[in-house]
Every structure is written in structure tokens, then in C-alpha cells.
Structure 1
Amino acid sequence: MKKLDIQAIRADFPILSQTVNGKPLVYFDNGATAQKPKVVIDAITKYYQEINANIHRGVHTLSQLATDAYEVSRNTIQKHLNAKHNHEIIFTSGTTHGINLVANGFAALLQPGDEVMVSAIEHHSNIVPWQFLCERTGANLVVIPMNEKGELILSEFDRLLNEKVKIIAVNHISNALGTVNPIAEIIEKAHQVGAAVLIDGAQATPHLRPDVQELDCDFYVFSGHKVCGPTGVGILYGKESWLNRLPPYQGGGEMIKEVTFAKTTYADLPHKFEAGTPNIAGGIVLGTAIDYLNEIGFEAIEAYEQELLAYGTEKLLEIEGVKIYGTGAHKASLISFNIEGIHPYDIGTIVDKLGIAVRTGHHCAQPVMNFFDIPGTVRASFAFYNTKEEIDIFVEAVKKAKQMLS
């Protein structure tokens, strides 16, 4: 496994060289969005300067060039996820769009009394669409509980799982706690009772390379902006058999085969789920971002980020009063913590004045915060372009904040 040249990597990201509040930027809010390398920024400019045109519809040269670039990106993502077919890759506006698309489709498949299962450590975007679905269909929402370490209680999952469960939606990695869930085991057991499984990979795809065929998941969703790509674009992977069963999510141009006022027939996959003009630049450049990450290498990224996690955890725990939430055996490079007697928002505000970007609050995971009976946490989420020196700066800033607020 190659060793990362962190300074060379940091030079790829223009934003990392700037100052904030007179201090060098320390960006530890990667769980919210990743920064963009120059190759991605340049690719956005290149699209608009050289081949800007609508896709799939025009016979003129620019339209064909844009279409080709868009479909090359789809193939890149197919290969990245190891999907069996490129038409199993659906471009969306992000993870939330992908989850809503699947949840909406399942409204045609569920009956009253059926069950939809989510976990206790989900982001709101993997809770609320399923609540909508249950309200529409009369299905019941079932929740896999968690323990004090922030891990799912698999014995309870086993107890709750039965043939009434039609779909299970669970994150690969928790955005609030960093917990890496045992999704392969969950998928295997779900399939034994005939349930489909959707994996929310928003927090996982920046850190690892999922193999959807090896996992055997039915759906996998992620957002482009968390993998160094643009905002407003994402991916829904779905097994061909499931995508053929689901009805279209939106009606409009591109998703049709033939339209009359009497009846409309739908286009084949993937266009059945891609109504209207998409985020063309975003779709093309998402492929650029995926290529960039694969060139660095996910094995090296994962190993280095685990170093950052271990170092940051050790240094923060040296501060008296620090409590870390999410202490499971398998974690991504994210530390969610509080200092006894101090509101997380106040810590976040002070460290921002020192040039450090972290996230504070409930992280769109209020049930997690309710479980721990806290208003929120300070979340420091690390990426492969961060350094141990930045962690040292952050730890000193937290100490200063504690001193000021105690």
C-alpha cells in the first residue's frame, strides 16, 4: 500500500491555503461536505466553457459531446461501485433524493401491516421519507435500537426481523457518531426473510469503496459533494430487478418512451428515473472526483484517516471533562464530543474565531441526541487532506475554549 504525500495532496485543494479570521484554515467539517481539488473545479469550468449543451436529445456536436461525457461518468461510477450494469446507476440530486425516490416507489408495493425498518442512528433523511411511506400505506415503522457505544444491537435486530419487513434502510456509517455498521450481516439476514435493503452511503463513500455486488445490497445511495465532487448531484444504485419493479418518481422529459393524452409509456433504465434536464456538469464532474479519489487510493485513504482518528481521540481525551459519543469498535474518522458543563455551540463559535471549522448541533440525527439526553455535540470529521498538526491546533483551541467558558 502506498503512503500518501499529504502536502502534495493539500496543494490540490486551493481552499486549504486560505486564512479564516486571520488564522490558517483548519477544515474539520468534512462530514458535512468535502473540499474540492483543482481538477474538479477546472472540470466544471471546462464543461461550461467548451461543451455546454443539453444531453440525450440533440443531434448537434456539443450535445453529443456532453452526452458522451455524462455517460462516461455513469460508467466510471458503475465501475467504482462494481455494479453489474451501467443502467443500475441513476443520477440524482443527492442522497436525500435517492432515498425519497425508493421510498416513493415502495408505496406501490406495501400493504397495511407491512413493516419498514430503520436504525436508531439514522440521519433524518433516512427516517422522514420512510415515515411518509408508512403514513401513505398503513405500514409500520420499526427501529433497530442502539447501545451506549453507538452500535446497533444485533440481537434486537434478529428479534425484530420477520417476513412482515419489506425494506430495511440503514446507514453504512453514522454521520453523528462515526459508527461503521455491519451492513453485510444485515443484508444477508434481511434477504432470508425476503426484505430489500437500502444502504445510505453518504458518510461511507468518502472513506471506502463499496462493492455493491459483494454486499448484495438492493439499493445504495450517496452524494457527490461528500466525495470531493459538486453539490446538487448524487447516485442511486439499484439492482435492475428492483428498479424495474418501482414506478417512476417524477414525470417529464427524458423518462418517457411515448406520450399521448390517452397513455404514456416509460423509458427503459436508467432514464425512467431521470426526468428533466439533470445537473449535467455535476454528473460529469462527479466522475472526475471519483477518478481523483481512486488515483489516491481508498486503501491508503482509509489507513491514513484511521491514524488521524486514533491521534485525535487520544489528544481530545487528555482534556478533562471531554466525553466522546460513538465509541464502537469500528469507526470512521469522525469524533463527536462534548465538554462537561459547556454547550457545544459555544465551543464551535470560539474555535471558529481561531480559524477552525467544525460542526455543532444535532447533526440531523435528533433521535441519537435524545438517546444520550444531550442537545448536540461538537463534531470534528477528518479527511485524507487533514494532518496531525491540524489536530494539535484544534486541541489547543478546544482547551482555550474550555478555559474561557468554564
Structure 2
Amino acid sequence: MTSPPGLLRRIRRGDLIAAGVIFVLGSLFIGLGVFEPYMVDLPLWVRFIPFGLTCLGVVVRRASPGLCLALGTVGFGTEIAIGVTFATICVYTDNLYAYARYGPRRGVRVLTPAVVVGVLGLGGLVLLEGGGTTGVLTTLAILAVVLLSPIATGIIVRQAHDRALLERERAEQMARLADVRRREAVLRERTVMARELHDTVANYLSAIALQSTALQARRDLDSDAVRTSIAAIRASSVDGLAELRRIIGILRAGDEGEELAAYRIDQIPELAERMRAVGLKVDFRTEGEPRDLPGEVELTAYRVVQESLTNALKHGRDAVAAIEYTPGTLVVTVVNALGGNEEAVPGAGSGLVGMTERVRLLGGKVHAGPDGDRWAVRAEIPTGVTEHD
């Protein structure tokens, strides 16, 4: 049971003021004799007690709906015995409404049949006192309006309020879901941009870093070799800068119809030639009958070869790249010897992660790791296209 201090803290100021106003107005009606005098000799002040109980129920209508109903029922039951006043009836309807609106749901389910039984019981008393059929029906109709309609109204208002709360919660959930999806979309875009920038720029920067390191370490190079290396460094710088500008231009323009990169398998020989120019021995070959493939498949195959050759340039030597056309699958293999690169460039491993993500997004699989004294990368990319297609 709620302690009195806790109950007092929960009482609403509006309910307290409303109860005070109702008590003053109802007292005027009682003072003017607006009531049924079942007991003529009863002192007038006694009739204020049941009315006061129902008004106290108004005070705690939201703080304690159960206490509100109990006070109102005691007051209303007392008035049935001593003489009913119009003011008490009106206030008791609010006691019933308040319990149906704010009380526990289990109690509300019990209240309705209990009131129905009470109405029928009062109708039976009227019948026993000699009231005719018309009197009984009139009594039942009045009691139904006075006692049942407030409960029905409270239940309807409560259900409407619950539906409104449910809709608001649903709207908040949809807003949170939209925010999560927006964040996921932003994260996906950032991941795509990071992967493209790495794949595009890392190849050129790795070549520049290795060539510049070799120039610093080698003191015995003649002028022709130095000029050749500087020209290769400049070419890598210009090509990398141009590619970077192209990507930035696409991002600024926001053209959804243009991809960040659109490399194809037939551009891999150019990639191999560029790697040979910076000192990596590369052998590239294709197996099977070449056929038209979806753009994302060709781009992924290109990126796998590019990242693998870049890693071979930084950490190994003598690479062999192969593209094998098989029914429904494109197999990309890159193998390179380990070691032999004294000017190795450190890496963070993000290239291998990005390469794996690309292949898995298309439903493929990647294996990368040492194979004896070599490093082997094998990617199987589903194409959705067979030789007959």
C-alpha cells in the first residue's frame, strides 16, 4: 500500500482545485435541499459526509485510482441509504471514469461486471418495493447511464490514449531506424571511398617510395639510370595525381550514375607494364575463353591484381598474375617470391582487407598467405555468366 507521504506527493494540483470547487458548488445544492429525503429526521450536516467522500476521490483520482473508487463507492452507497443527492451522483460518475481511465487494467475488467450486477440488484430492489415494470426499466436505464457510461467512456479514452502512445513509439522507432540506416549508408560510402582511394593511390605512391629510396641508397648509378628513375617517379606522380583528381571530381559532382573507378581486365597488361617500369618483374597471362563480364566483376579482378602486385613491389619480387575464365567463376591468381626487396615499404594491411571485402561483396572468396617461399593470392569471383551465355 502506498504510504500517505508518497500519496500526497502524487496528488495533482489541478485535481485538488477541481475537488474544492466541486465541493463548494455541491454544498450549495445540498444546503438548498436538492436531495431525496429518505430519512427526514437526519441532520443536514450528515449529508455532507458522503458527498465529501466522493470529492476526496476526485483529489486522488490520478494519484490513487483505487482509493478514488473506494471513497466514491462508500459515499454513493451511503447516499442510497439516506437519500441520494444530485451532486454526489455527478461526482461519483467521475470516480468511476477515473478508475476506468487510470486504474489497473485487471481491476477495470472486474469493475464492469461488478457494476452490471449492482445495477441489476438495484433494479431488483425497486421491483421488490412494488415498482412496476415501467419503474424497474426506468431505474435500470438511469443507473446504466449514471454508472456504466462513465466506465465505458474511460475505457474508450484509455484505448485511444494507448493507441496514440503506440503510434508515437512507432514513429520514434522509425525515426531511429532511419537514422541508423542513414549512418550505415554514410559508413558504406566512406568505406567505398577509402577503399577506392587506397587502391588508386597506394600503387602509385608505393612505386614512388621505392624508386626514391633506391635513388638515395644507390650511389653508383650513372646519369642515364638516374634520369630514367626520375622520369618513372614523375610518371607515377602525374598518373596518381590525375586519378586522385578524377575521383575527387566525381565526389564533388555527386553524380550517382558514374562509378568511382571503372577498370577492366583488358587494362591489367598496362598495370603489369607500369610495374615493370618501376622494377618489378611481372608475368601476366589469361586462361580460358575471354567473355563479357559484369563491370563490378572486372573491376574487382583488376583491384585484386593491382593490390597483389603492389604488395609484391613493396615486400617481394618476381610476380606471376593469371586470370582464368571458368563457367560461372573468374579465378584470379597472383604469386610472387618472398624477400629480395631491401627497401621494403611498410604497410597497414588495409589493402588486403579492402581486396577481401570487394570479393566477398560479390559472393566470392579469397585466400592470401605464404606458400613455401612464395606469397600466393587466389580469388574466386562469381560472374553469373557461363561460356554458353
Flag the structure with more relative contact order, 1 or 2, with Cα contacts below 8 A and sequence separation at least 6: 1
Q: Output the TM-score relative to the length of structure 2.
A: 0.18
The normalised TM-score by structure 1 is 0.18
Q: Which has the larger radius of gyration?
A: 2
**Higher percent of residues as helix:** 2
Instruction: Determine which structure has the larger strand proportion and give its number.
Output: 1
